[in-house]
Amino acid sequence: MSVFSSLILVLVFAALAYAGGLAGSSRWFMGVILPYTAILVFLGGLSYRVLRWAKSPVPFHIPTTCGQQKSLPWLKWSWLENPQSKGGVLLRMALEVLLFRSLFRNSRAQFLDGPRLRYGEEKFLWLSALAFHWSLLIILIRHLRFFVSPVPRFVMGLEAVDGFFQVSAPQLLVTDVVILAALLFLLQRRLRNPQVRYISLFTDYFALFLLLGIAFSGVLMRYFFRVDLERVKEVALGLVTFSPTVPAGVGPLFFVHLTLVSLLLIYFPFSKLVHMGGIFLSPTRNLANDSRVKRHVNPWDYPVKVHTYAEWEEEFHDKIKAAGLPLERE
Amino acid sequence: MPGISPQTQQAISERWRAAIIQTYPGLTAEFLRQEKDPFRNPVGAALREGIPCLVAELFGAMDPGKVSQALEGIVRIRAIQDFSPKQAVGFVFELRDILRDVLRAPEAPLGELHKRIDEMALVAFDVFMRCREQVYEVRLSEARRAEGFRKRMVSRDAGG
Amino acid sequence: MSEALPKHEELVQIRYDVPRNGWRSAHVDFRKGTYSYSAAPKNVQYLGMANPRHWRPTDKDWKLPPDWKQIILRGMKERLEKFRSFRLFMDICVRCGACADKCHFYLGSADPKNMPVLRAELVRSVYRRYFTASGRLFRGLAGGRELTEDVLKEWFYYFYQCTECRRCSVFCPFGIDTAEVTMIVRELLNLVGVNTNWVLEPAANCFRTGNHLGVQPHGFKDSIDFAVDELEELTGIRVEAPINKKGAEILFVVPSADYFATPHYYTLLGYLALFHEIGLDYTFSAYASEGGNFGLFNSHELMKRLNNKIYAEAKRLGVKWILGGECGHMWRVLHQYMDTMNGPADFLEEPVSPVTGTRFENARSTKMVHICELTADLIHNGKLKLDPSHNDHWRVTFHDSCNPARGMGLLEEPRYILRNVVNHFFEMPENTIREQTFCCGSGAGLGTDENIEMRLRGGLPRANAVKYVRDKHGVNLLTCICAIDKATLPTLLEYWTPGVEVGGVHELVANALVMKGEKDRTTDLRGEPFPAKEAAVHA
């Protein structure tokens, strides 16, 4: 149910954008107003979310330790899985953010009998998640060519590497293929793995379809229904230099792409997609296991009602005495 | 019982295992079926181990020891899960339908097999009852372990 | 005959249906054996907590305060502001499902709501409905869910089916820790008086008398004296076991089960023998006679209230530092919470082993050392005379307790000790030990006897791995360093893997320990004859 409704919603958005692009009447809306709104909502919303997390205190020191602690000097300490210093934490976080280390752990299974069905599947979760996120990053960087003039060298270089297969004209870019494949894999996993399907919400599918729509419209523009790149660059440069212009003849497909991207940006801060910002702040990962070495302070600590020794001795005075234990007050 | 090939026996095992797995909530069923690591999937592993033994015995010697042991692995788990007694041991009767489906040839000795299925069901019931009793026994022995010390303390408190 | 058969592929083609209605309808059948009894009003009252009354989870009316919904929502708001963990874990889950099959309760019960992701979604859905813009606007479409009494009952059922073991958080790409969510939800439930007696009664007892059974000072002294007598019978040596002794160098804190329960008791005998042998200047305290902290299973505030006694007593007695016995949750609190809650312990000194001179730099702020750290250091420095053959009747495996493993990283110390005191040591499979260890299924206040069926479900993955080493290596003793393990695993193993007993690490240490001036020992601490001696007798 939520699969279809989210798919239809994305298709409706895409169709509206296409129609608007054809008609040409709502170009200003889609080419200027919507992108600016999207950027504002994205930046504002994301910083609000991240600031709110960052501002909320970490009262207790609760890292999850995944290896041997640093204790006696002759015991082999697992400095990466159980860091006791800032450097260790940074590296642990870096591996988490750049390589999704915990997700990879998932695929370490042993004593298997027969074919390794499940084992393989989970390695694919890690692999496709990694492929998706890295492709997305590279594609974003590649898009700098539209926003900066002249195009920076490293962007050209990156694109050259990305297109090393050189199999078609226009040059086939590896990330385009990878991101589509990864997204499709993640989607089919969500649909076919019953556990994951059971826990999936409308919003989970919506995000996937939106990303697929963006990737798909981008690929169509690049390889099949080419749009005028000079004009696209005019739009993009206009946006970043605050002198927006929407030249005629950009092609409706471009508006589909741009509108879906804008929608994604608007949706982003209100959704689980903010996990990007959250991982850096996760107290089970970003703290060193040094809670016995350094005192962690709880900013909202407050006094509590305790049962003091004096109260205890008073209540059990005679029994303590009879048992021959020392007393503070005879 | 002649003429039941290993492939057919395997097919019966697979179907039976599937039928048992179906007694779990849908999505869990898929996990129980797929996950092959016995330490990540103890319930699925118990079925994987027990069912082929039971099918082999069904077409073989019906060795009481082996039947009981194979059922033990499965029923011991079902005895403490969210099942009524009927659901916990009723899976044995699923075999009837499966045999009817799989052994379509008229010469299949269904009568004798059904008798064996009944026998298995009764053994499963025995195992189930034994396990349920044991749940109360272990509960009792836990209480006794705790009580032993409490008693000692109380008797000392009374004395002193 | 095979002619008439359908093809093999056709036969094994099986369709599985996923439940269509999803998980968002909240309804729980409280079935006997799967939940813990509610807290008795006297315990709620004694601790000064909300809404003391008689009620049962099976009742239709839980006698909640009329404004219970506002109380819960207010409590949620407050905790969202006070705990980054809570807000973050409500926000960033992407429902990738990596945690789904990591929970021992899911593996043992096959109940989908025991998947960590779904357990958290039970409260996340309410969070979205009341605390996010999209949820307030789009309700169900944005994954929101109304807070109803049925939802509250569902919380009670499932958040008392989490042992706060943190196994899921090891596998989560964002480190989302269900233990954290469980702790917060239990706090919320407490605001309207929904709690269990097996948490609150021990907590009330600890608060009043110092230990979870409510044994009073003279009873505590008696049980220690009794252990001293028994150790003398076994070894011929009369050890000292000082209580409330001012000016001792070290305060020794153990979980109170060590002196009230079997098989913990043998570990206590082990401590006593070891301390005598190395001439440790230490004292027990009858006031701070419980290290285990039942507050951890209830609320951060109660945790702090109970934990307070340890530093207070260390200060009163004027000791230099504190030593802690074998206990799981106790060490979660001591390692990750104590210094923050009741520190700084600036009246104590950085711990130094009086025997070897080793500085325990990893405890220089808390000033509290784990006994396995102390003993491993002793053995490494050759300070103990050990005869591992005394343990030859045991074929031993080691069960990592959740909290020392995932909330501390105490993995190698006990293993180092065991390798030095036993000859037959076998590890369970890799994905069931160390940071991937499976919980006993009875932690976090679930270890009560009325909850036995749920515990048996939760204990299945652990027992299954024990069964593997029992069948493969003939293992007959599972050692562990947790009082809850020692109390509950004998029960679970009796059902799942008969023939495997449970013991503590320091029980085996004392078995192997050759004490100066001991009589000719013929039995271990349990009174079982030493195998070597037995063989000699037979020869």
Backbone angles phi and psi of C147, in degrees to 5: -85, 110
Q: Residue range C500-508: average pLDDT?
A: 97
| CA-closest candidate to residue B46, choices C126, C497, C82, A108 | C497
Domain annotation covers residue A327:
no
Which residues does C29 contact at the CB level (< 8 Å), separation at least 6? none
Q: Length of chain B, please? A: 160
Q: Does B137 lie at the interface with A, CB-CB under 8 angstroms?
A: no
Give residue-wise pLDDT tens across range B54-96: 999 999 999 999 999 999 999 999 999 989 999 999 999 999 9
Contacts of B108 in chain C (CB under 8 A): 1
Residue in C218, C429, C495 closest to B138 by CB: C495
Do residues B64 and B123 make contact, with C-beta atoms less than 8 angstroms apart? yes
Q: How far is it, in rounded angstroms, from Cα C155 to Cα B96?
A: 41
Instruction: Write the single-letter amino acid at C422.
Output: V
Q: Are strands C396-398 and C321-324 parallel, antiparallel or unpaired?
A: unpaired
Give the pLDDT confidence score for residue A300 in this predicted structure: 96
Q: Which residues of A touch C18 (CB under 8 A)?
A: 194, 197-198
Partner B contacted by A112 (CB < 8 A):
yes
pLDDT tens-digit profile of C275-323?
Answer: 999 999 999 999 999 999 999 999 999 999 999 999 999 999 999 999 9
User: How many other C-beta atoms are found inside a 10 Å radius of the C-beta of residue C75?
Assistant: 18
H or E segment to which residue A177 belongs: helix A174-192
Distances B35 to A303, C173, C454 between C-alpha atoms, Å: 50, 21, 23
- Choice between A191 and C495, residue whose per-residue pLDDT is larger: C495
pLDDT digits (tens, 9 = 90+) for A67-126: 999 999 999 999 999 999 999 999 999 998 898 888 887 654 433 343 333 444 567 888
Q: What is the DSSP string of B144-157?
A: HHHHHHHHHHHHHH
Q: For residue B37, name the pLDDT band (cuts at 50, 70, 90).
A: confident
The CB density around residue A322, as the number of other CB atoms within 10 Å, is 13
Between chains, do C110 and B24 touch, taking CB under 8 Å as contact?
A: yes
Local confidence band at B7 (pLDDT 50, 70, 90 cut-offs): confident
Chain B hits for C488, Cβ within 8 Å: 142
Task: List pLDDT tens digits, range C81-129.
Answer: 999 999 999 999 988 888 988 999 998 888 888 999 999 999 999 999 9
Residues in Cβ contact with C397 at an 8 Å cutoff, skipping those fewer than 6 apart: C425, C426, C427, C428, C466, C469, C473, C475, C477, C478, C479
Rounded mean pLDDT, A279-293: 93
pLDDT in tens, A250-264: 888 899 999 999 999
Q: Which residue of A has its CA nearest to C468?
A: A111
- Chain B nearest CA to C477, separation (Å): 18
Phi first, then psi: what are they for C251, rounded to 5°? -95, 130
Q: How far are the Cα atoms of B5, C120, C183, C200 from residue C188, in angstroms, in the given order? A: 60, 14, 9, 15
Q: By CB neighbour count within 10 A (0-12 exposed, 13-18 middle, 19+ buried), where does B55 fall?
A: buried
- Per-residue model confidence as pLDDT tens digits over C142-183: 888 999 999 999 999 999 999 999 999 999 999 999 999 999
Q: With 80 as the cut, is the pLDDT of residue C16 above it?
A: no
Q: Tell me the sheet residues that pair with C359.
A: C352
Calculate how close chain C gets to A156, using CA atoms only, in Å: 33
The residue range of the domain holding A130 is 2-322
The answer to the question of residue A329 being in a domain is no
pLDDT of residue C402: 96
Among C16, C92, C127, C367, the residue to mutate for chain A (most A Cβ within 10 A): C92
Rounded-to-integer distance, Cα C485 and Cα C493, Å: 11
Cβ-defined contact of C407 to A62 (cutoff 8 Å)? yes
Residues 6+ apart with CB under 8 A from C131: C76, C77, C80, C90
The residue extents of the domains of chain C are: 41-195, 202-534
**Phi-psi category of C282—alpha, beta or left, where left has phi over 0 and alpha has psi -120 to 50?**
beta
The reply to whether A198 touches chain B by the CB within 8 Å rule is yes
Q: What angle do CA A166, A172, A174 make, to 5 degrees?
A: 100
**Could you check whether the bond before residue C41 is cis, i.e. omega within 30 degrees of 0?**
no
Give the pLDDT confidence score for residue A119 in this predicted structure: 42
How close A226 comes to chain C (CA, Å)? Answer: 35
Residues 6+ apart with CB under 8 A from A1: none
From chain A, pick out residues whose CB is under 8 angstroms from the CB of C133. Answer: 270
Chains that touch B (3 or more CB pairs under 8 A): A, C
Q: What are phi and psi of C480, to 5 degrees?
A: -160, 170
**Chain C residues with beta carbon closer than 8 angstroms to that of B15:** 11-12, 14
Q: Which amino acid is at A212?
A: L
Contact C378, C417 (CB under 8 A): no
Neighbours of C352 (CB within 10 A): 16
Look up residue A284 and give its two tokens: 């089970």
Q: Does a structural domain hold residue A280?
A: yes
Q: Is position A110 within any domain? A: yes
Q: What is the mean pLDDT of chain B?
A: 86
Q: What is the pLDDT of residue C138?
A: 85
Which of the four pLDDT bands, split at 50, 70 and 90, describes residue B132? very high
pLDDT at A115: 34
The CATH architecture of the domain made up of C41-195 is Orthogonal Bundle (1.10)
Supply the Cα-derived Rg of chain B in whole angstroms.
Answer: 21
C164 reaches A (C-beta below 8 A): no
d(CA A181, CA A204): 18
Instruction: Provide the number of structural domains found in chain A.
Output: 1
Could you tell me the CATH number of the domain that includes residue A219? 1.20.950.20
Residue partners of A20: CB distance under 8 A and separation at least 6: A26, A27, A29, A30, A252, A255, A259
- Summarize pLDDT for C186-235 with one digit per residue, the tens: 999 999 999 999 999 999 999 999 888 888 899 899 889 999 999 999 99
First CA to last CA distance, chain B: 74
Cβ neighbours for C253, distance < 8 A, ≥ 6 positions apart:
C285, C288, C289, C290, C291, C310, C322, C323, C324, C325, C330
**Residues of C in Cβ contact (< 8 Å) with A70:** 362
pLDDT of residue C17: 45
Tell me how far CA of residue B19 lies from CA of B87, B103, C254, C265, in angstroms. 12, 17, 50, 47
Distance of CA C354 to the CA centre of its chain: 30
pLDDT tens profile A206-262 = 999 999 999 999 999 888 887 888 888 888 888 888 888 887 778 888 999 999 999
Compare all CA atoms of chain A with the CA of B157 and give the residue at the minimum distance.
A319
Nearest CA-CA partner of C207 in C310, C131, C305, C285: C305
**Distance in Å, alpha carbon of C149 to nearest chain B alpha carbon:** 23
- CA-wise closest residue to B124 among B160, B91, B80: B91
Q: What is the pLDDT of residue C318?
A: 97
pLDDT for residue C23: 77
Position A231 scores a pLDDT of 86
Query: Residue B44 pLDDT more than 50?
Result: yes
User: Per-residue pLDDT for B27 more than 90?
Assistant: no
* CA-closest candidate to residue C513, choices C353, C424, C383: C383
Measured from the Cβ of residue C327, the count of other Cβ atoms closer than 10 Å reads 32
- Output the DSSP codes for B31-74: HHHH---TTT-HHHHHHHHHHHHHHHHHHTT--HHHHHHHHHHH
